[in-house]
Amino acid sequence: MLEVGTNNLGSHKDDEIAEGVRAILDELGRRQPQAKVLVLGLLPRGDRPDDPNLPPERRVRERIRDVNARLARLADDRRVYFLDVGDHLLEPDGALNRTLLSDLQPTAAGYRILAEALRPRLNQLLP
């Protein structure tokens, strides 16, 4: 399982983040060609959904959606798979559930929610 890229949002463009993940996947493929890799989407950030009045570079949720769409396109469903579980950490109105996510890291309760969200996909991929 590979969760990577969220810390790059402040210093890299969306396409650069996706290319960096692709480079990691290429290297993993060279070193472990038999390995299956589950790439996780970037988890949500920002207390609330983006304000459309913000300049595009400050709309972090839009950027996360864009990066996640790019990461999803890296999946070939043979060796590389993609799963976005970030919505499990949100309230129905799109606000971050602060009992599940503190700063950029899931809380213990958040990890339990994510584990349940990951379980079906991992059961499909593991022998």
Q: Please give the DSSP secondary-structure letter assigned to residue 51.
A: P
| pLDDT for 104 | 77
- Residue positions counted in the chain: 127
Domain with 80 in it: 6-125
Domain count within the chain:
1
Residue 57: which pLDDT band, with cuts at 50, 70 and 90?
A: low
- The answer to whether residue 106 sits within a structural domain is yes
**The Cα angle at residue 40 between residues 88 and 1, in degrees rounded to 5:** 120
- Cβ contact 70:14 at 8 Å: yes
d(CA 100, CA 4): 19
pLDDT tens digit sequence for 69-80:
999 999 999 999
Is pTM beyond 0.75? Reply is yes
Residue 1 lies in a domain: no
Is the residue at 15 inside a domain? yes
